[in-house]
Amino acid sequence: MAVKLLLIALLSLASCSAILASDPSPLQDFCVADLHSKVFVNGFPCKNANDVRAEDFFRSGLDRPGDTNNYLRSNVTPVNVNQIPGLNTLGISLVRIDYGPNGLNPPHTHPRATEVLAVLEGELYVGFVTSNLNGGGNRLFTKNLRKGDVFVFPQGLIHFQFNRGKTNAIAFAGLSSQNPGVITIANAVFGSRPPISDDVLAKAFQVDKNLVDWLQAQFWTDNNY
């Protein structure tokens, strides 16, 4: 009996953890985010329903390409709760990604969302890396995508897209969070403020501290606008 009760408790805890780990579920038709509220909650407080307008569910401009005139030759245009307040509590968002020739959306993660990417124009080399395996190491999954192809990046895993072609590429991606977040690996590790100790990074990457210092002195391009 004690074992059964423990098992039930563990299953209940796992279920509760899974529920709490996702975006808050809506308890009414909508909860348009009050982006100017001074109340701090997990997500955003609701705007008074009497003040909600159609514009709270609307965004234009995704027909226009993003500016890829940067070192990475790519541009991510987000459409999340910060751009469309009506997405609050709905657990979904969108991005448009533009890639110039040899454009890269560098290795990054979305801590709060799974991503489904669809290629509209051009070709992309994409992939993601698993978390640490029990036997050691990490497994890489890659695919060459063409117009009309779709690929999934599981939540929290490091992934990337690279335009190997000589023409522009366009992709749209849906994400399973109103605010998926993004951590660009190189920027976070070498461009944080204040910087991570070069002793820590030199040991972690097994390189000389002078190389770490040089990397930390570089300008790390952010292609998310």
List, run by run, the mean pLDDT of 10-residue segments along the chain (225 residues). Answer: 41 42 77 93 92 98 96 97 96 97 98 98 98 95 98 98 96 97 97 96 97 94 83
pLDDT digits (tens, 9 = 90+) for 210-219: 999 999 999 8
pLDDT digits (tens, 9 = 90+) for 60-99: 999 999 999 999 999 999 999 999 999 999 999 999 999 9
123 is in an annotated binding site: no
36 is in an annotated binding site: no
115 is in an annotated binding site: yes
- pTM exceeding the 0.85 threshold for the entire prediction: yes
105 is in an annotated binding site: yes
- DSSP string computed for 32-60: -B-TT-----SS-PBPPGGG--GGGG---
Using DSSP's 3-state secondary structure scheme, residue 203 falls into: helix
194/204 Cα distance (integer angstroms): 18
